[in-house]
Amino acid sequence: MYKIIFSLVILSAITFHAIAEETPALTKEKWESASKEDQENLKKILKNTKLMPENDDISLLYNHKPIDMKPFGFNPFKEVCLKACDAAAIVGAGACTGTAAAIAFCLIGVESSRKYCKDHC
C-alpha cells in the first residue's frame, strides 16, 4: 500500500514539475482580473500550505527579488527547504478546484508561490 502511495506522490511531483516549467507567473494583471472568489480560494490554499508570503501580501509574488544567500556561506538546510517548497506546492496544486479558468489561475498562483518560497531558502 505504501509503495502505491509513494508512487502516486512521485508521479504527482513529476507532473507538477512539468506543468510548472510551462506555467506563466502570477502578474498584477492576472491577480486583478481574477474574481474575488478565485482570489480568496488561492489565498486560502497558500495559507494552508504555508506558501503565503509575509503579511499575506500577494503582491510579493509578482514583485519580489530573490535573496542572495552567498554572503552567508554554506546553507546545509537549503536542499531540505527546496524540497519542502515543492511538497507544499504539490499539495496546493491538488487543492485547486473550480472552473478551468479558476484552476489555471490557482495553479499559476501556487507556482509563483513555489518560486517565491525557493528564492527564500
Confidence of residue 78 (pLDDT cuts 50, 70, 90): confident
Confidence of residue 14 (pLDDT cuts 50, 70, 90): very low
Q: List the Cα angle 35/39/41 in 5-degree steps.
A: 115
Domain boundaries, the chain: 2-119
- If we measure between CA atoms, which residue out of 116, 47, 26, 21 comes closest to residue 13? 21
Q: How far, in Å, CA of 55 to CA of 67, rounded? A: 18
Q: How far, in Å, CA of 87 to CA of 120, rounded? A: 15
Segment 9-36 mean pLDDT: 66
Segment 68-91 mean pLDDT: 79
